[in-house]
Copies of this chain bind each other. A is one copy, B any other.
Amino acid sequence: MRVTSDRALDHPRREDIRLEAVLHALSDPMRLRVVAFLSGVDDEGAPCSAIDLVVSKSTSTHHFRVLREAGVISQVYRGTAKMNALRRRDLDELFPGLLDAVLHARAAQRRREGDAEPVPF
């Protein structure tokens, strides 16, 4: 993962990730959508702009920060972009099965509601 800027971002260490914070981060539809999207992306991650939330840029920034501060995603600057990746390894180690259960639950709910779209997010 090449970093082309030394601007640093605070991430909680794995052992400081709190279940309550993770659940809270996942309880927002926007953020759940981001997580679902990132779950289908490789370790390099994707820039914030890769997923079209239907909100303003500031709101988008806000949601990505909530996810980062909860320990759900990692963010790294690369040029003018900021790459976002799921902290799948950390989450799976801390809370085995949780992330998968949430992702499957969301997928199931979308199926039930006929929201299935060609894109998986």
A positions within 8 Å CB-CB of B: 15, 18-21, 23-24, 26-29, 32, 94-98, 100-102, 104-106, 108-109, 112
> Cβ of A29: which chain B residues have Cβ within 8 Å of it?
20
**Main secondary structure on chain A at its contact with chain B?**
helix
> Cβ of A32: which chain B residues have Cβ within 8 Å of it?
19-20, 23
Can you tell how many copies of this chain the complex includes?
2
Q: A20-B27, A27-B23 are in contact. Are A97 and B104 (CB under 8 A)?
A: yes
Most chain B beta-carbon neighbours within 10 Å: one of A20, A24, A29, A32 = A20
Measured in the bound complex, the distance between the Cα atoms of B31 and A23 in whole Å is 12
A97 adjacent to B97 (CB under 8 Å): yes
